[in-house]
Amino acid sequence: MARHGYRPRKRWGQHFLISQRVVDAIVGRLEGMAGVLEVGPGPGVLTRPISQAGIDVLAVEIDPVALSALAESAPRAKVISGDALEIDLSSLLEQMPNPRAVVSNIPYNITGPLLTAFAACRGKYERAALMMQREVGTRLVAKVGNSDFGSLSVFIQSQFRIVKVVDVPPSAFLPPPKVSSVVLELTPLPDQPSEDFFKLIRAGFTQPRKTLANNFLAIGLERPRVARLLADLGHPPTIRPHQVGLDDWRRMSEYLETDERG
């Protein structure tokens, strides 16, 4: 990094991984993969061992200063300079050999948008190894009834099987962040929820502390319809969004779609 005049920048929320233990844990999840799309490779701490394992790596890096460092650390990898939130990730994945994986040390300031982008192209890869702020990871794996179970939990759990790989302390990064992180493995599920399902989740969690009924009323659903929906699913009128399991979110979406068709 010193040779290339490369340093972490606050502008992009950069904290570079320096823990060999965590690197090994992530690379170990890529066994059997032929291609890897890496978002935010930085100086190539992950890029190098992945490419050395004989895997084709295509990396997307927003910081142009990183390119020369990557050319030295991971010369076998193909690197694209650009913003992953503005690039067609599906198109990039389609250029890579199967089976494919996605890897990213997700910058804290774009975690939600980047998770959404990875979900949008979930049919193009077999697994993802993603590092994120532990608080976000806790929400992703939260169980129904837990206060951490929210719209992001339902959104991701409806599309992926999630396994925790390793906890990551601040000391694993340069510079050390103020929060701990976690690496999760996400495996795409075969069924794709409808856009109406996602709209229902967003509506249901509009104000998580309120009852589900009140959130539905706030988006214009009629009170008798909401009461009938909850009663038919066996829920009390006082139930709150985090108390509704994934299967019942699916049932509510199907119920409302059927109800609209008459």
* Counts for the chain of helices (H) and strands (E), in that order: 11, 9
114 exposed, middle or buried (CB, 10 Å; 0-12, 13-18, 19+)? buried
Residues 96 and 103: beta-carbon distance below 8 Å: no
Sketch the domain layout of the chain as residue ranges. 10-188, 195-261
**What pLDDT score does 200 carry?**
92
Residues 135 and 178: beta-carbon distance below 8 Å: no
**What pLDDT score does 257 carry?**
77
Tokens of 78: 């193909």
Three-state SS at 128: strand
Within 10 angstroms of residue 142's Cβ, the number of other Cβ atoms is: 18
**What pLDDT score does 261 carry?**
53
CATH architecture of 195-261: Orthogonal Bundle (1.10)
**What pLDDT score does 58 carry?**
98
**What pLDDT score does 75 carry?**
96
DSSP 172-188: GEES--SS-EEEEEEEE
**What pLDDT score does 14 carry?**
77
**What pLDDT score does 192 carry?**
85
Contacts of 8 (CB under 8 A, 6+ apart): 14, 15, 16, 42, 174, 175
Q: What residue type is assigned to position 39 of the chain? A: V
What distance in Å separates the CA atoms of residue 138 and residue 135, rounded to the nearest whole number?
A: 5
Strand partners, 45: none
Digit-by-digit pLDDT tens for the chain (262 residues) are 777 677 777 766 778 899 999 999 999 999 999 999 999 999 999 999 999 999 999 999 998 888 999 999 999 999 999 999 999 999 999 999 999 999 999 988 899 999 999 999 999 999 999 999 999 999 999 999 999 999 999 999 999 999 999 999 999 998 899 999 999 999 999 988 988 899 999 999 999 999 999 999 988 889 999 999 999 999 999 999 999 999 999 999 888 877 665 4
Q: Is the peptide bond before 175 cis (omega within 30 degrees of 0)?
A: yes
What distance in Å separates the CA atoms of residue 250 and residue 177, rounded to the nearest whole number?
A: 38
The reply to whether the predicted model has a pTM over 0.85 is yes
Scanning the structure block, which residue is given the tokens 């823990």? Answer: 19
**What pLDDT score does 65 carry?**
86
Class of domain 10-188: alpha beta
**What pLDDT score does 15 carry?**
86
Residues 229 and 252: beta-carbon distance below 8 Å: yes
Three-state SS at 59: strand
**What pLDDT score does 7 carry?**
72
Helix, strand, coil shares of the chain as percentages rounded to 5?
45, 20, 40
Dihedral angle sign, alpha carbons of residues 128, 161, 124, 82: negative
Residues 182 and 166: beta-carbon distance below 8 Å: yes
**What pLDDT score does 235 carry?**
94
What distance in Å separates the CA atoms of residue 89 and residue 171, rounded to the nearest whole number?
A: 31
